[in-house]
Structure 1
Amino acid sequence: MPRLADHDQRRKQITDAARRVVARDGLGSATFQSVAAEAGISVRLVQYYFGTKRAFLLATHQAVVADAGARFARGLDALGSDPTPREVIRTVLAELLPTDAARRQDTVLLNTFHTAALTAPAEEPGIVADDTLSAPRFLVRTIAEQLRRIRPGGPASPEDTADLDAELIVAATAGLAQTLLVDPNAAERADALLDRLLDRMAAG
């Protein structure tokens, strides 16, 4: 009796192929045909698992975000049972920087999706801005929680600026990630830049 297909594995095969196509050729090149060819499967099979182009683009974006989340989890586990807020924030931020091939590809992919959300015609059922915002919003919430661990008061305090500061930290790290994509020499300064950012924004 033939073994039933592992649907999660098949979806991963397709989204992995889509990631390679987008990273190599751009988002516009990610069609049912090109992704099927990259994955070595039939177009009909891609259509079976993802009925529309938007569906497999969303799944591809979510796969990139999920991989980043898994890296966050591994990094945080490595800190042990009682890390300081600064250690948590720094570990999360370091995982956002394209300092190896996998992170570089993911950064390029996320940038590609973000650009598509900004530039795609409204009538095209592609990626839109709301599709790309869940990950940065999660990062802001996570960092704000850690900032509040080292600051007096709390969310109800009129002096509480944790949310704003967390947004600035995420934005600054995103800018550093962009720099690393185009300036390999910046990698030598990445650790020092992160530490300087946290010295100013997460002291305590």
Structure 2
Amino acid sequence: MPRVADHDARHGQITDAVQRLIVRDGLSAVTVARTAAEAGMSVGLVQHYFTAKDEMLLATFTRVNARFTARVDALVNRGEAEGRTIAAMLRQALAELVPLDDARRAEFLVRLAFADRAAHHARLAAVQRETLAGIRARVARAIENGTACGEVAREVDATGQALRIVACAEGLALHTHIDPDGTPEPAVLAALDDRIDRVFTGTCRRARRRAGD
């Protein structure tokens, strides 16, 4: 167990170093040597875990996505415990993709760097497609759950609307990165609400029952 824990800790040190380099100096700064210096370890130790830039970038991208997923899971668990609507939980979850604070900005820059690299590397492009498909699938499930509880009309195409909602969130993320002053948080959240409210037009049956108690 200690050996596994040590491996995970070293792996995390390296990917955190890659993220800091991307945020501070851009993707071009990510080399094995500079990553080793940033992580405070030897080049040989970094090469024990990663032999190439793409491997380090993929691991960092995966770590960023894991953090995003963990936050969304926590939001959903808390929202369900508090009796929040699916629409409200979806809005909160998608806002985690938008660089509205330093932590989300750092993660966005990693995703942006990965997208740039993936444009010319088939293996990374496949991972990027799989990741995006996973996000869309999760949003589609939220819409289907909304249909089951009455928040979404039965005729709504969950897959098609998930594509539109995720595209809106991704577009807001890019706009916020390019022009943060022109996309303040209230405007971003209002735009998400506008897109989501076009799909979630009903009231959850559980909420109606609670209101009638």
With normalisation by structure 1, the TM-score equals 0.85
Question: Any residues of structure 2 matched to 1:39-188 within 5 Å, and which?
Answer: 39-81=39-81, 82-118=83-119, 120=120, 128-151=124-147, 159=155, 161-185=157-181, 186-187=183-184, 188=186
Amino acid at match of 2:75: G
Query: 1:75-103: CA deviations, max 9, x gaps?
Result: 22221335432123112111111111000
Where 1:79 maps in the other structure, the secondary structure is helix
Distance in 1 between residues matched to 2:95 and 2:55, nearest whole Å:
30
1:23 aligns with 2:32: no
Number of equivalent positions: 192
Query: 1:57-77: CA deviations, max 9, x gaps?
Result: 211111111111121122222
* Structure 2 unmatched runs, 5+: 149-153, 203-213
Amino acid at match of 1:140: R
1:34 matched residue in structure 2: 34
**How big is the shift at 1:146?**
1.5
Query: Greater CA deviation, 21-30 or 64-73?
Result: 21-30
Distance in 1 between residues matched to 2:26 and 2:171, nearest whole Å:
21
* Structure 1 unmatched runs, 5+: 153-157
**How big is the shift at 1:199?**
1.4
Distance 1:68 1:173, change over 3 A: same
1:197 aligns with 2:198: no
Amino acid at match of 1:197: R
**How big is the shift at 1:160?**
5.2
**How big is the shift at 1:149?**
2.4
Amino acid at match of 2:118: A
2:8 matched residue in structure 1: 8
Amino acid at match of 1:114: A
Query: 1:28-55: CA deviations, max 9, x gaps?
Result: 2211001001011100000001233322
Cα pair 2:60 2:110 within 8 Å, conserved: no
Percent of aligned positions with the same letter in both sequences?
36
1:155 matched residue in structure 2: none
Amino acid at match of 2:89: V
Distance in 2 between residues matched to 1:44 and 1:6, nearest whole Å:
16
More helix by share: 2
Cα pair 2:21 2:35 within 8 Å, conserved: yes
Amino acid at match of 2:140: A
**How big is the shift at 1:14?**
0.5
Amino acid at match of 1:193: A
Cα RMSD after superposing both structures: 2.2
Where 2:100 maps in the other structure, the secondary structure is coil
Distance in 1 between residues matched to 2:180 and 2:138, nearest whole Å:
29
Q: Which runs of 4+ in 1 moved over 6 A?
A: none
Amino acid at match of 1:102: A
